[in-house]
Structure 1
Amino acid sequence: MEKKRILIVGLEIHEVNAIKENLGFEYLIVHYDMLPNIKLIEGELFVESSTIPDKYLLVDKVIFHGIFETDFDFITLLALWNGPCLPNATGMMDLRNRIPGLVRALNISKFSGTKRGMLINEQEYFTDKEVVAKWGIWHCGEDKNKFTGEWKSNETSVIEEFIEGEAVRIMLVGDKYWQIKLTGTNWLKSIHNEGSWEMDVDADLLQDSKNLAKHFNLQTVGVDYMIGLDGRKHLLEVNHIPNVTVFPFINQAYIEFTKNWIQQSVNQFKQLTD
């Protein structure tokens, strides 16, 4: 039987070992914790060998997990390849850059009513309301500023109303889902703060997240919302690479989903994503 080579990028070695467990000898795992050199030749994907200089290896499937400063071209190449990739490469490409990704998601979400502003490059903005500016390419709670009055951008930024209320994330891994309460010591909320944990799932937010996942063809996704003090719900961000390591129940589900996904044939994969 011809062996299938699986390229895994970004996962920790203990997660890779858990994925490899009981996979069988028909699979070869190539693991990089950072971005390797890859190339696309006549529709076939190749990755550099970690042991033999200047040698490239044919890749059958890709598992990508991580956010890297220079990963957009890497993801775009995977999308052009259009082979089996977890998560779907075109979905990752569409959401990777914060502001264009937000615009695409707002066109799908039911909870897109927040009126936003936008500045291009260096411009001044004045408001008598409390607002939040967001810029850059990161999806990790960085590159944000809350202000009232006058503010000047250093780069292209989106401006949105600051909403008092509860920050939550709907997390999807295959057909499993959770709602996570996001906490923090100040206005910035994250899954990494003490007290962030699973909570009851809001059916409307879950359906909205499923609609977004379906639209972007993403098998795993994390969707952040604010539930205002008035009960209104607002889409904040769609995370194309949501963290799967913080919560053990999500990590276990992700490992099992990934192992099952690897064992699908290329034909099965195409049927699932067509």
Structure 2
Amino acid sequence: MAQPALGPAEAEGPCSTPLESPVHPVDEKPAPSRLVPAALQHIAAMYAGVVTPPLIIGQAVGLDQAGLTRLIAASLLIAGCATLLQTLGIGGFAGNRLPFVNAASSAGIAPMLAIAETSAPGHQLPVIYGAVLVAGAFCLAIGPFFGRLLRFFPPLVTGVVITLIGVTLMPVPVSWAQGGDKEAADFGAMKYLALAAFTLTVILIVQRFGRGFVRQVALLIGLLAGTLAAVPFGLADFSAIRSAPESLDDQDDGEGEGGQGE
């Protein structure tokens, strides 16, 4: 039986006009009541990943509190710039224009620690920065072709690589769980191990039974719970925060005066 001829609007399909075509979820712009909580959720979920690598690298190269603060701030700044680049894009050169939040990768921590161990004291960070720049240029060059190589990286390969990264980094958190200072008399004391076990337990419980946003920030919840548990036992040291200068200018002036006095 012959079908009736379609009109112009019907021939073009249901998505021919803005009134008839709903916005695709990828291109949808949520209302502020949904957009702001989602943004805060992304920031909370990525914060631990951005702060952890500079903490490990900074302690490995012997940075003081001021240097460690600057390294963490630099990590947060670059993560924000990378997020804007991915979200907004630059012509056809870079950026997938999707709401991805970029954090610092843990894959480079192991080679950075190896560089720190083999570099001369006082020159570890410049050497690490140079290696990161060269690696970044290399990744930028092979980026357009890497998509064709994904078939050589099935879940078995990526899973083994991620597991090896975690195993390689295990000495760092194990040392932190024992107090952090290997030269201290109470290094490895039961109070430190109990606090680390409590923090880990909280993280695992939240990760196992939490839902949605709560599950994504399990690490931050565990850190908060561990800090609160450490306060009544005198294991939380906030002296660095209380004695911190109000600005970096004040801190630089203090260091300059100290250097002149010497």
TM over 0.5: no
The two structures have a TM-score, normalised by structure 1, of 0.23
Q: Report the structure, 1 or 2, having the larger strand content.
A: 1
Q: Greater CA radius of gyration, 1 or 2?
A: 2
Q: Which has the higher contact order (CA 8 A, sep 6+)?
A: 1
Q: Report the structure, 1 or 2, having the larger helix content.
A: 2
